[in-house]
């Protein structure tokens, strides 16, 4: 017998992992990407992986639901550690990964995590690691434009003229009286 008062099935929230940049200035600029992701997917859960020195900034960005500290140093390849990290992140069941850095090593973690859609710019032999590969980066001369283009379907982003607006960074700060 079916209980007519049973609660309706809960819809699963989309989960997006961003492999963020390693530099503070680039991280501030990347908030424009995070804002665009939330406009496109308002109910998504947005997690950003970045070096520890950038996590304090991520905590000041209301668009970011979770900051994940990258346990590997900038420049460290450490394939086995990247594989282990990817396997750990697989438990999160992300729907998409957006890889901001252009390095091959930054694309390995989402690949090891078996995230179904892995978006990023062509660079450093990332064929296969990224399956939503963007190749027209020169059409977006400003770094912030290149970041923003990753928030939209590639068919929609042919050049900088296709970017609706560039949302400005706006970190939340504690006011001191």
Residue range 10-42, pLDDT digits in tens: 668 999 999 999 999 999 999 999 999 999 999
Mean pLDDT of 130-154: 94
Considering Cα of 95, then 131, then 81, then 71, what sign does the dihedral take?
negative
Q: How many residues does the chain have?
A: 177
Residue 59 has pLDDT above 70, yes or no: yes
Residue 151's region, left for phi above 0, alpha for psi from -120 to 50, else beta, is alpha
| Contact assessment for residue 147 and residue 100, using Cβ atoms and an 8 Å cutoff | yes
Tens digits of residue pLDDT in 151-176: 999 999 999 999 988 988 888 888 77
Name the DSSP class of 137.
G
């Amino acid at each position: 017998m079916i209980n007519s008062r049973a609660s309706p099935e809960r819809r699963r929230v989309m989960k997006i992992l961003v492999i963020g940049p390693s530099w503070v200035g680039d991280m501030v600029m990347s908030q424009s990407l995070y804002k665009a992701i939330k406009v496109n997917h308002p109910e998504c859960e947005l997690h950003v992986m970045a070096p520890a020195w950038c996590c304090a900034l991520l905590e000041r960005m209301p668009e970011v639901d979770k900051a994940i500290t990258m346990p590997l140093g900038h420049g460290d390849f450490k394939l086995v550690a990247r594989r282990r990290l990817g396997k750990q992140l697989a438990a999160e069941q992300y729907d998409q990964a957006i890889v901001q850095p252009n390095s091959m090593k930054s694309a390995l973690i989402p690949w090891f995590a078996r995230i179904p859609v892995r978006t990023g710019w062509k660079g450093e032999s990332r064929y296969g690691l990224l399956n939503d590969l963007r190749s027209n980066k020169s059409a977006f001369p400003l770094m912030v434009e290149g970041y923003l283009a990753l928030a939209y379907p590639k068919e929609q982003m042919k050049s900088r003229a296709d970017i609706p607006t560039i949302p400005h960074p706006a970190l939340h700060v504690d006011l001191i009286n």
